[in-house]
Chain A
Amino acid sequence: MPAVSSDTPPCFDIRELTKVYGSGEAAVHALRGVDLSIPDGDMVVLLGPSGSGKSTLLNIIGGLDRATDGVFKFRGEDLTRASVRQLTLYRRRHVGFVFQFYNLMPSLTARENVELVTEIADNPLSAAEALAMVGLDHRMDHFPAEMSGGEQQRVAIARAIAKRPEVMLCDEPTGALDSATGVRVLQALRDVNEQLGATTLIITHNAGVADMAHRVVTFSDGRVGKVEVNETRIEPEALTW
């Protein structure tokens, strides 16, 4: 891990990043040259129409997929051509994921789902602490099948934050939730960003959510359309859907 110094590189430094699925006639250009720099500790919201490449970028940033061309650096370390093993370690040590469909282990309770990750982390929160941060300390011994969608998503957030990640990546975390529940989830994400200082990227369809971010990145057709920095941020509970 690069040492922190006065000329600390940005958390993510992305240059000319392209991603092509398939080849020849059937080739799909999901990313057509993305340039983006995200400072440490930022909360970033990614907006853009469906199919514009948001998930593709997030997956590359998260080490789930590889770019076709360009450069992707995490804290100055070039991960563009990292090996499977390097990417696994990168995800394990630095990245917390939250997905639209929670993806909890159905065979583990809330606490166990969180512990599953803390067992392999270096300096984790306790499962109880992580669940308390998302307001679920009272349902720790319930199985996913016994919980509502919002509760499951908050367990997923607790699971993601328990390892004290430097990066939180959330692909439509509120997509499957009603607005009240969605707000709770967003509050949890904001708390984590503030208390743990994790650089947080949130993909959403909901433009309103952008108001809680430091930075709003709008995608169109595989490119970054514009990057706005919010002067003032709004608390999640005040967001309008």
Chain B
Amino acid sequence: MVDPRHPLIPGLSKLDRKLVRDLWSMRVQIIAIALVIAAGVAVHIVAAGMLDSLKLTRDTYYDRHQFADIWAPVVRAPEALADDAGAIPGVRAVESRVRSAAQFSLDTMDAPAAGEVLSLPQANGSAINRVFLVEGRMPLAGQRDEILLLETFAIAHGLEPGDTIEATIYGARDRLRITGLALSPEYVYAIAPGQIVPDPRMFGVAWMEREALAQAVDRDGAFTELIVQLQPGAETAPVIAALDRLLEPYGAPGAYAREDQISDAFVSSEIDQLSTMAGFLPPIFLAVAAVLVNVVLARLVALERTEIGLMKAFGYRDRDVVIHYLKFASVIGAIGFIAGLALGVWLGRSLAALYTEYYRFPYLIFSLRAEVYGVAALVTFIAIGGAGVLAAWRAARLDPAIAMRPPPPPDYSQALGAGLTRWRRIDHQTRMVLRQILRWPQRSAITIGGIAVSAGLLISTLFFLDSMEVMIGSYFDIANRQDITVSFNQPRSREALYALERMPGVMAAEPVRHVAVRLRNGPVEERAALTGLPREAQLSRAVTAAGDGIEPPPGGLVLSQDLAEKLGVKAGETIEVEVTEGRRPVLEIPVSGVSTSYIGSSLNMQIDDLNRIMGEGRVITGAALRVDRDQEARLYTALKAAPGVAGLSLQTQAEEMFVDIMDQSMGTSILIYTLFAGLIAVGVVYNSVRISFSERETELAVLRVLGFTRGEVAYVLLGEIAVLTLISLPIGALAGAGLAFVFAEAMSSDLFRLPYVIEARTFAYAAGLVIFVAISSALMVRSRLDKLDMVAVLKAGE
């Protein structure tokens, strides 16, 4: 770097040399502001860039692999019906397939893994939901035991093409040969039905030749699902209605669109959350940076009023003066922007790597759309440029004659703090601190606001941890207290429950019955799973926000808050329930209570009521078990041999997985935002103290002359920022609580709802961090205080 103190840099005008000199002498302040700008730009690039990348990747993947728009499952329907479906207006292509539950036994795990087997798109078909072959080859026609296996599942169990895997399909156990590993747009987020987290070990997906699978599940010449692509611009709802009419006689639980497809729902909700972050945070950072630039430039103009007067007296025009200070602002903006750009791209790429772990896209297209950068540049330019113009304008307006006189000493007699005279309790150093704050209320407010923003950001970021803890606690420790959830392929008699109870290690077993329903309240319709639970269920149950169990009375429903809100019903009202299985009863059922479910939705009634409605006798579709940990292995062996078990979900493992995913996806973001919130505090505090120091240098030197120690003088300077920090903390706490509320609302989806809980320790931690940052930034100025040259300062008056 050129030594900027050197007066003769060739080619620079006098003003530009002054610019370089000013920039150099204020470098720490400039860096502090540039870091805040950089944080804003980086957040924008990470959030908007990730958002863009995720969207682009998803869209490309979906497009190349012909991701379906509608899924229409049936129990069994004749192949000819596929053509009828193809004739529905708005449908571009239809593909029929066979899809069946499966259970996998693995050497690497005692428990069986749940899963699905799907038929591969037929060679002459439209290739909807085409798989992505990662490794190996497709199964050969006529080879009945060949499969493709979902790559994530294979990796989790160390399986490779050429290996075999034991699977139970439609009650028959078989050894299948893996010919290749695949990914699919249907399993970007590979999650078992009814589960809340993707656990690559616990959920397997296999693809087989259509004919082989059809024969295995006794669906020769028939299909169990239609997958549909719409014509561009076609509406979904009428097509779904037409499909439902067409397929109803074949045991169709109802067709659904992408928003109800679990994998896409997860991907989309992640995208929504990212766009919330992208919309919220960067403006906050840039606004703080803009205010800082303005404050610092205003101070610079005040310091340089004599110089400005001289410049004008020498014939520089107002325009030159404005341009001079604008250049100053631009340099800060440019440094911040470039640093933010670099930081953002780097962070974005690191996070993208994380996302590819989390989501199973075959590739991640890291989008570098010019718009993302353009917007960052434009907003930075407007914010920093605007702040610069305001300050520069003040410089331009200075009358040269007045500008060249030193400013009169500040008058405190009319200021807010004058009345403090009557307050005799405090010492005069403290009085000076308070009067300084009150004398410049606007600047004090800016400092308080800046620190409060920093504290607020910290709190609202850390809030996610608190919220997550409550969410996990409520779901895993209060509502679902079973160790294992067993689900069956199809409804089974009560005998199945007794069989479970007799298995080794089972200490308690409670029956569960699920049926698919559509809920209606007037024009509003929602798909849901209705769960029948025993009276006084102790294991899986609905709870209130306070954590108490809430049980449906005979003939009544308890539904979770999110469903109640979507349907617009309250306890005491009645909704229409259409069961979409079995004999498809439609009933009006009173809502007797509303529960709280932070993960997924819940809709419960008594199992006896449900069985009566369905008219299929006392049946169950699953059970919640509490088990003796020491006997788990034996229990798993028994469960693998039990007929009709579709899968298990292991509570502890699911909880660990959930926490893991949250840590991975949120941990990094929280770290980044915490760091950036800290940068705001540094920027605000350092600049505030630095400006205060430059204004009061003489006063402070005089205090030293009068015999005040360095510590006492530091108190007069730093007491100001200490008081401002203390004032800003409760404001920051309020702002943080407000921001957390907004985040909780904005980040909640059909899948998760963030409970609005902020623990006391979060406030304490945020306050501690802000105070730490404030003290460190203030101490950076204190070293200047210790070097204060009393003689030079006293001479300056002459």
A binding-site residues for B, Cβ under 8 Å: 55, 59, 62, 64-65, 84-85, 88-93, 95, 97, 99-101, 103, 105-109, 112, 115-117, 119-120, 141-146, 159, 171
Determine whether the beta carbon of B708 is less than 8 Å from that of A106: no
Determine whether the beta carbon of B791 is less than 8 Å from that of A143: no
Complex interface residues of chain B between 756 and 798 (CB less than 8 A to chain A): 790-791, 794-795, 797-798
The interface-forming segment of B405-413, B513-521, B579-587 is B405-413
Cross-chain pairs A/B with CB under 8 angstroms, 30 sampled: A64-B794, A65-B790, A65-B791, A84-B710, A88-B708, A88-B710, A91-B705, A91-B707, A92-B708, A95-B707, A97-B706, A99-B794, A103-B698, A105-B432, A105-B703, A106-B699, A107-B417, A107-B439, A108-B435, A116-B428, A116-B429, A117-B706, A119-B428, A120-B707, A120-B708, A143-B412, A144-B409, A145-B413, A146-B413, A171-B794
Q: Which residue from chain B places its CB closest to the CB of A144 in the assembled complex?
A: B409
List the A side residues contacting B797 at CB < 8 Å.
99-101, 103
| Nearest Cβ on chain B to A61's Cβ, whole angstroms | 12
- Which one of B408, B409, B795 has the greatest number of beta carbons of chain A within 10 Å? B409
List the B side residues contacting A91 at CB < 8 Å.
705-707
- Contact string against A for B residues 261-302, beta-carbon threshold 8 Å, 1 for contact and 0 otherwise: 000000000000000000000000000000000000000000
Interface flag for B427 (CB, 8 Å): yes
* C-alpha spacing A99/B698, complex, angstroms: 13
List the A side residues contacting B435 at CB < 8 Å.
107-108
List the A side residues contacting B108 at CB < 8 Å.
none
* C-alpha spacing A103/B704, complex, angstroms: 12
* C-alpha spacing A91/B710, complex, angstroms: 13
List the B side residues contacting A88 at CB < 8 Å.
704, 707-710
10 smallest beta-carbon distances between A and B, as pairs: A92-B707, A145-B411, A101-B797, A91-B707, A107-B435, A143-B413, A116-B428, A103-B702, A106-B409, A107-B412
* C-alpha spacing A145/B790, complex, angstroms: 23
List the A side residues contacting B436 at CB < 8 Å.
107
List the A side residues contacting B704 at CB < 8 Å.
88
List the A side residues contacting B442 at CB < 8 Å.
none
List the B side residues contacting A100 at CB < 8 Å.
797-798
Complex interface residues of chain B between 372 and 415 (CB less than 8 A to chain A): 408-413
Would you call the interface of chain B mostly helix, strand, loop, or mixed? helix
Interface flag for B431 (CB, 8 Å): yes
List the A side residues contacting B703 at CB < 8 Å.
105
Interface flag for B310 (CB, 8 Å): no
- Which one of B411, B417, B432, B707 has the greatest number of beta carbons of chain A within 10 Å? B707
Q: Assign chain B's interface to a size class.
A: 35 or more
* C-alpha spacing A100/B427, complex, angstroms: 27
Q: A112-B431, A145-B409, A145-B411 are in contact. Are A105 and B699 (CB under 8 A)?
A: yes
List the B side residues contacting A119 at CB < 8 Å.
427-428
Interface flag for B421 (CB, 8 Å): yes
B410's contact among A64, A141, A145, by CB below 8 Å, is which? A145
* C-alpha spacing A100/B436, complex, angstroms: 25
* C-alpha spacing A119/B428, complex, angstroms: 8
List the A side residues contacting B702 at CB < 8 Å.
103, 105
Interface flag for B418 (CB, 8 Å): yes
Q: Which residue from chain B places its CB closest to the CB of A103 in the assembled complex?
A: B702
Q: Which residue from chain B places its CB closest to the CB of A65 in the assembled complex?
A: B791
B binding-site residues for A, Cβ under 8 Å: 408-413, 417-418, 421, 427-429, 431-432, 435-436, 439, 698-699, 702-710, 712, 790-791, 794-795, 797-798
List the A side residues contacting B409 at CB < 8 Å.
106, 144-145
List the B side residues contacting A99 at CB < 8 Å.
794, 797
Q: A84-B710, A95-B707, A105-B702 are in contact. List 7 more A-B contacts (CB 8 A).
A: A88-B707, A88-B709, A109-B421, A116-B429, A142-B413, A145-B413, A146-B413
- Which one of A55, A107, A141 has the greatest number of beta carbons of chain B within 10 Å? A107
List the A side residues contacting B439 at CB < 8 Å.
107
| Nearest Cβ on chain B to A229's Cβ, whole angstroms | 30
Q: A64-B705, A99-B797 are in contact. Are A112 and B421 (CB under 8 A)?
A: yes
* C-alpha spacing A144/B699, complex, angstroms: 13
| Nearest Cβ on chain A to B693's Cβ, whole angstroms | 15
* C-alpha spacing A88/B707, complex, angstroms: 5
Q: Which residue from chain B places its CB closest to the CB of A87 in the assembled complex?
A: B707
Determine whether the beta carbon of B428 is less than 8 Å from that of A108: yes
Q: A100-B798, A103-B702 are in contact. Are A89 and B707 (CB under 8 A)?
A: yes
Q: A107-B417, A107-B435 are in contact. Are A115 and B698 (CB under 8 A)?
A: no
Q: Which residue from chain B places its CB closest to the CB of A94 in the assembled complex?
A: B707
* C-alpha spacing A64/B790, complex, angstroms: 7
| Nearest Cβ on chain A to B586's Cβ, whole angstroms | 79
A116's contact among B705, B706, B709, by CB below 8 Å, is which? B706
| Nearest Cβ on chain A to B310's Cβ, whole angstroms | 22
| Nearest Cβ on chain A to B430's Cβ, whole angstroms | 11
| Nearest Cβ on chain A to B659's Cβ, whole angstroms | 54
Determine whether the beta carbon of A92 is less than 8 Å from that of B706: yes
List the A side residues contacting B413 at CB < 8 Å.
142-143, 145-146
* C-alpha spacing A103/B798, complex, angstroms: 12
Q: Which residue from chain B places its CB closest to the CB of A118 in the assembled complex?
A: B428
A93's contact among B707, B712, B794, B798, by CB below 8 Å, is which? B707
List the A side residues contacting B790 at CB < 8 Å.
64-65
List the B side residues contacting A107 at CB < 8 Å.
410, 412, 417, 431-432, 435-436, 439
Q: Which residue from chain B places its CB closest to the CB of A141 in the assembled complex?
A: B421
- Which one of A59, A90, A92, A116 has the greatest number of beta carbons of chain B within 10 Å? A116
Determine whether the beta carbon of A143 is less than 8 Å from that of B429: no
* C-alpha spacing A91/B435, complex, angstroms: 26
* C-alpha spacing A145/B699, complex, angstroms: 15
List the A side residues contacting B421 at CB < 8 Å.
109, 112, 141
| Nearest Cβ on chain B to A230's Cβ, whole angstroms | 29
Determine whether the beta carbon of B417 is less than 8 Å from that of A97: no
* C-alpha spacing A91/B703, complex, angstroms: 11
List the A side residues contacting B427 at CB < 8 Å.
119
* C-alpha spacing A95/B707, complex, angstroms: 9
| Nearest Cβ on chain B to A175's Cβ, whole angstroms | 9
List the B side residues contacting A115 at CB < 8 Å.
428
List the A side residues contacting B428 at CB < 8 Å.
108, 112, 115-116, 119
| Nearest Cβ on chain A to B720's Cβ, whole angstroms | 11
* C-alpha spacing A141/B408, complex, angstroms: 20
List the B side residues contacting A141 at CB < 8 Å.
421
Q: A88-B707, A107-B439 are in contact. Are A145 and B408 (CB under 8 A)?
A: yes
A108's contact among B432, B706, B795, by CB below 8 Å, is which? B432
* C-alpha spacing A64/B788, complex, angstroms: 11
* C-alpha spacing A233/B790, complex, angstroms: 34
* C-alpha spacing A49/B418, complex, angstroms: 43
Determine whether the beta carbon of B705 is less than 8 Å from that of A106: no
Q: A145-B409, A145-B413 are in contact. Are A97 and B705 (CB under 8 A)?
A: yes
Q: Which residue from chain B places its CB closest to the CB of A92 in the assembled complex?
A: B707
List the B side residues contacting A95 at CB < 8 Å.
707
| Nearest Cβ on chain A to B29's Cβ, whole angstroms | 24
* C-alpha spacing A107/B421, complex, angstroms: 11
* C-alpha spacing A92/B707, complex, angstroms: 4
| Nearest Cβ on chain B to A152's Cβ, whole angstroms | 9
* C-alpha spacing A20/B506, complex, angstroms: 94
| Nearest Cβ on chain A to B405's Cβ, whole angstroms | 15
| Nearest Cβ on chain A to B403's Cβ, whole angstroms | 20
List the B side residues contacting A117 at CB < 8 Å.
706-707
* C-alpha spacing A146/B797, complex, angstroms: 20
Determine whether the beta carbon of A143 is less than 8 Å from that of B411: yes
List the B side residues contacting A55 at CB < 8 Å.
795
Q: Which residue from chain A places its CB closest to the CB of B439 in the assembled complex?
A: A107
* C-alpha spacing A119/B703, complex, angstroms: 13
| Nearest Cβ on chain B to A127's Cβ, whole angstroms | 10
- Which one of B418, B703, B791 has the greatest number of beta carbons of chain A within 10 Å? B791
List the A side residues contacting B431 at CB < 8 Å.
107-108, 112
* C-alpha spacing A9/B418, complex, angstroms: 47
List the B side residues contacting A159 at CB < 8 Å.
706
